[in-house]
């Protein structure tokens, strides 16, 4: 390599950084696809952060007290893969050679894989940053829950790389504004201020005074740092760590594609291979003589973090052992929380919540039923951390044991997120990614659109985030069509691995909550009503069957017709079944609070609930009809919404849109169910 910079003969810092540049150029070239510019531009920053500051153990990527590192500008994934490989994570050179290939852990954008040291899935710009805000908040709250004088068992930083794109995205405002307000002092972000995005030089579309913007949020800003000067970067990180009262943004001036002699500083390096000639020229310019995918031994040794990581973790384990001796109960609880195990009492808590819900025969909004359940499970689940995007009184997310988290006190379990649905949802994901928490947050169902990509990312990452989505339909009434979801339940169902519950009463709401808490490999959307819903009578067997997602709520031997519904429309189906019975028609009512769960049941259950022989079927939902078609079949009908709602009292709206028992009766007659019954 070109130089050594000290008497020890250790490689110069620039040479260490060039290992990232070479790997990025070569992997992108090999894949003929990818983004070399950012890794080449941020390589010097990564070298300083990873070699001088980051506390992590490549042999145990999931070490509880590791620093978290988030690559929010995820298109620069090769930077992350390179440093993980170089520092000693189980990410092999072969994996780097297979960048962007099927089955390789080196996907186009980083995909969460703790085994490889990838903390979160990034790529949708800005969202990694918001995840990181959630992680930094998790650290602060956990520290408040568990640290004792002389025992800082929770004590780590959260570092983020981000670019112009992340800062242009609105979610960066939501998350960073709250991070400043909550004084997340151990969050340290590096802004890759290279002046370039895909369309070229950003002045024409991004001329903010970013430093002033972040100072206004209450951040410490270290402006104008030369992102290619290790000493300047080091000094900035030291200053960032000094300030524990405010998050820090380090604005680093960098050159995108640094080292590519003809293309650096231009958008040409952003997202395409440099080409063989330019790669060769860059090697020359950088003084990097090793062939592709070869790391000279001194460079490899300069990066290897395994010994340091083992030592750091061992020190922490020693601290934990002393903590366990001094505070045995806290230590046990800390271990449980970080392993993600529910308390031993959970089964009893869940049974209690369900028993109370089943005994409650009062008519109740399911959002209120949800609060009742939270009042039972909340005090028994210290890992449950809630919040709302400024709709606490509407979402009913604040339970009796909720304690708000403030800038001054992190020893709570409730976050007033403010009007920031997307930021909140991505922060929920960050809280869940960090570990130690089961995070939920509320907003109106209709605003799940604002948050949608974070819900999608929760599903993609298999996170147990819980989204409390109230005001589920035209049933919210007077606020009108801007607030009345029509397509949202169906559209959430379309997200793979998203479990949507739309309970019809208190008992189903209790089951939905318990299922959401227990489900740790995917998110749940709890869709809840504003208006009161009557309690439905159930046998013990029916109560147990709620967990199947779809079950017979009102039976009739040899049914002439099946009515099926979810949420508020179950009561309507029950009323219609009564009226049909009066006309001699035997109607079965199927409650379907969780379609994906029902769809996952075995064929025998599905046949028992929806016998193929009964082809007269009507589904009722105050939403778009499309997704019910699969259950009603070609001969069935769906009574749903075909337009946006209107502003009026709920009762008037159900009538206006034909969501009535009379209408169900009419359809049943059209299907011949009543005639068939009288012919028996
Ligand atoms: C939400 C979102 N919108 C659009 C994109 C597509 N995209 C990827 S990188 C990029 C430009 C980012 O510019 P910058 O952050 O300055 O990255 P750099 O060019 O410095 O690598 C865009 C628009 C994306 N990944 N995520």
Q: Indicate which atom in ligand 1 lies nearest the CA of residue 256.
A: 20
- Side by side, which strands form the sheet with 438-444? 414-416, 384-388, 438-444, 466-470, 524-528, 499-501
Res 288 pLDDT > 60? yes
> Ligand 1 pocket check: which of 128, 130, 165 to mutate, most ligand atoms within 8 Å of Cβ?
165
For 160, the enclosing helix (H) or strand (E) is strand 158-163
What's the pLDDT band for 679 if we cut at 50, 70, 90? low
Nearest CA to ligand 1 atom 26: 124
**Looking at the DSSP assignment, which residues form a beta bridge with residue 384?**
438
What's the pLDDT band for 674 if we cut at 50, 70, 90? confident
Q: What is the pLDDT of residue 4?
A: 61
Ligand 1 binding pocket includes 194 (Cβ within 6 Å)? yes
**Gyration radius of the chain over CA positions:** 28
Which is nearest to 166 in space by CA: 137, 139, 193, 138?
Answer: 193
State the residue for tokens 């110069």: 12
Q: What is the pLDDT of residue 501?
A: 98
Q: What is the pLDDT of residue 675?
A: 77
Q: Decide: 222 and 249 in contact? Cβ < 8 Å.
A: yes
> Ligand 1 pocket check: which of 197, 204, 227, 254 to mutate, most ligand atoms within 8 Å of Cβ?
197
* Distance in angstroms between the alpha carbons of the first and the last residue of the chain: 92
Q: Indicate which atom in ligand 1 lies nearest the CA of residue 37.
A: 21
Res 104 pLDDT > 70? yes
Alpha carbon of 126 to ligand 1 centroid (Å): 9
- 184-202 residue pLDDT tens: 999 999 999 999 999 999 9
Q: Indicate which atom in ligand 1 lies nearest the CA of residue 198.
A: 11
What's the pLDDT band for 236 if we cut at 50, 70, 90? very high
Q: Indicate which atom in ligand 1 lies nearest the CA of residue 166.
A: 15
How high does pLDDT run on average in the chain?
Answer: 97
The alpha-helical segments, DSSP class H, found in 227-345 are 230-242, 276-286, 297-303, 306-326, 328-339
- 36-64 residue pLDDT tens: 999 999 999 999 999 999 999 999 999 99
Q: What is the pLDDT of residue 6?
A: 54
Alpha carbon of 109 to ligand 1 centroid (Å): 12
What's the pLDDT band for 680 if we cut at 50, 70, 90? low
Q: Which of 383, 421, 569, 621 is catalytic?
A: 421
Ligand 1 binding pocket includes 161 (Cβ within 6 Å)? no
Alpha carbon of 511 to ligand 1 centroid (Å): 41
Q: Is 508 a catalytic residue?
A: no
Alpha carbon of 370 to ligand 1 centroid (Å): 39
Q: What is the pLDDT of residue 1?
A: 52
Alpha carbon of 125 to ligand 1 centroid (Å): 6
Which is nearest to 603 in space by CA: 595, 614, 611?
Answer: 611
Whole-angstrom distance, CA of residue 141 vs CA of residue 39: 33
Say what the pTM is. Answer: 0.98
Ligand 1 binding pocket includes 198 (Cβ within 6 Å)? yes
- 586-608 residue pLDDT tens: 999 999 999 999 999 999 999 99
Res 247 pLDDT > 70? yes
Res 19 pLDDT > 80? yes
Phi, psi of 469 (to 5 degrees): -120, 100
> Ligand 1 pocket check: which of 196, 198, 256 to mutate, most ligand atoms within 8 Å of Cβ?
198
State the residue for tokens 């991004």: 206
Q: Percentage of residues in the chain with pLDDT exceeding 70?
A: 98
Please state, as a whole number, how many other Cβ atoms lie within 10 Å of the Cβ of residue 266: 16
Mean pLDDT of 139-153: 98
- 517-568 residue pLDDT tens: 999 999 999 999 999 999 999 999 999 999 999 999 999 889 999 999 999 9
Whole-angstrom distance, CA of residue 251 vs CA of residue 193: 6
Q: Indicate which atom in ligand 1 lies nearest the CA of residue 163.
A: 15
What's the pLDDT band for 5 if we cut at 50, 70, 90? low
Ligand 1 binding pocket includes 270 (Cβ within 6 Å)? yes
State the residue for tokens 């090769």: 78
- 438-493 residue pLDDT tens: 999 999 999 999 999 999 999 999 999 999 999 999 999 999 999 999 999 999 99
């Amino acid at each position: 390599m070109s130089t050594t910079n000290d008497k020890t003969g250790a490689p110069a810092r620039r040479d260490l950084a060039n290992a990232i540049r070479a790997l990025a150029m070569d992997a992108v070239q090999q894949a003929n696809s990818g983004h070399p510019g950012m890794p080449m531009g941020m390589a010097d920053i990564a070298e300083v952060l990873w070699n001088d500051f980051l506390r992590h153990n490549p042999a145990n990527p999931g070490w509880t007290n590791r620093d978290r590192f988030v690559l929010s500008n995820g298109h620069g994934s090769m930077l992350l893969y390179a440093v993980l490989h170089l520092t000693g994570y189980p990410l092999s050179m072969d994996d780097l050679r297979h960048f962007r290939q099927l089955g390789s852990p080196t996907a186009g954008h980083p995909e969460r894989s703790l085994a490889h040291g990838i903390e979160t899935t990034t790529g949708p710009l800005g969202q990694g940053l918001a995840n990181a805000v959630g992680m930094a908040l998790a650290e602060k709250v956990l520290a408040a829950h568990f640290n004792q004088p002389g025992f800082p068992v929770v004590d780590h930083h959260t570092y983020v790389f981000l670019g112009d794109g992340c800062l242009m995205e609105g979610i960066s405002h939501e998350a960073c504004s709250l991070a400043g307000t909550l004084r997340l002092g151990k969050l340290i972000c590096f802004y890759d201020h290279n002046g370039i995005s895909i369309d070229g030089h950003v002045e024409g579309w991004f001329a903010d005074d970013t430093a002033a913007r972040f100072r206004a949020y209450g951040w410490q800003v270290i402006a104008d740092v030369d992102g290619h000067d290790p000493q300047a970067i080091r000094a900035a990180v030291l200053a960032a760590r000094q300030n524990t009262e405010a998050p820090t943004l380090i604005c680093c001036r960098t050159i995108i594609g640094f080292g590519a002699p003809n293309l650096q500083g231009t958008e040409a390096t952003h997202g395409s291979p440099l080409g063989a000639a330019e790669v060769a020229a860059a090697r020359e310019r950088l003084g990097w003589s090793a062939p592709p995918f070869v790391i000279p031994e001194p460079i490899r040794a300069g990066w290897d973090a395994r010994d340091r990581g083992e030592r750091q973790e061992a020190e922490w384990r020693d601290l934990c052992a002393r903590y366990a001796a001094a505070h045995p109960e806290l230590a046990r609880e800390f271990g449980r929380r970080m392993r993600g195990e529910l308390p031993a009492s959970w089964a009893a808590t869940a049974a209690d919540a369900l028993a109370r819900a089943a005994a409650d025969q009062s008519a109740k909004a399911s959002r209120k039923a949800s609060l009742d359940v939270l009042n039972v499970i909340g005090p028994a689940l210290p890992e449950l951390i809630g919040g709302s995007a400024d709709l606490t009184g509407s979402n009913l997310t604040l339970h009796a044991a909720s304690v708000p988290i403030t800038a001054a006190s992190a020893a709570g379990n409730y976050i007033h997120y403010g009007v920031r649905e997307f930021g909140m949802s991505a922060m929920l994901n960050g809280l869940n990614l960090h570990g130690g928490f089961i995070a939920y947050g509320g907003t109106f169902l209709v605003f799940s659109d604002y948050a949608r990509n974070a819900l999608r990312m929760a599903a993609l990452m298999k996170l147990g985030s819980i989204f409390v989505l109230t005001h589920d339909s035209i049933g919210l009434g007077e606020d009108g069509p801007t607030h009345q979801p029509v397509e949202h339940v169906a559209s959430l169902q379309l997200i793979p691995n998203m479990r949507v519950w739309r309970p019809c009463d208190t008992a189903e709401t209790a089951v939905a909550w318990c299922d959401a808490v227990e489900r740790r490999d995917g998110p749940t959307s709890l869709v809840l009503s504003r208006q009161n819903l009557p309690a439905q009578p159930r046998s013990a067997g029916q109560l147990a069957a709620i967990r199947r997602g779809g079950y017979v709520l009102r039976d009739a031997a040899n049914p002439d017709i099946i009515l099926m519904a979810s949420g508020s429309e179950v009561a309507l189906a029950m009323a219609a079944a009564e009226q049909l019975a009066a006309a001699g028609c035997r109607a079965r009512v199927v409650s379907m609070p969780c379609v994906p769960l029902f769809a996952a049941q075995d064929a025998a259950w599905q046949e028992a609930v929806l016998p193929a022989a009964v082809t007269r079927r009507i589904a009722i939902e105050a939403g778009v009809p499309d997704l019910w078609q699969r259950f009603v079949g070609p001969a069935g009908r769906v009574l749903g919404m075909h337009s946006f709602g209107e502003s009026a009292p709920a009762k008037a709206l159900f009538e206006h849109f034909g969501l009535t028992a009379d209408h169900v009766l009419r359809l049943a007659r059209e299907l011949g169910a009543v005639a068939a019954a009288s012919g028996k």
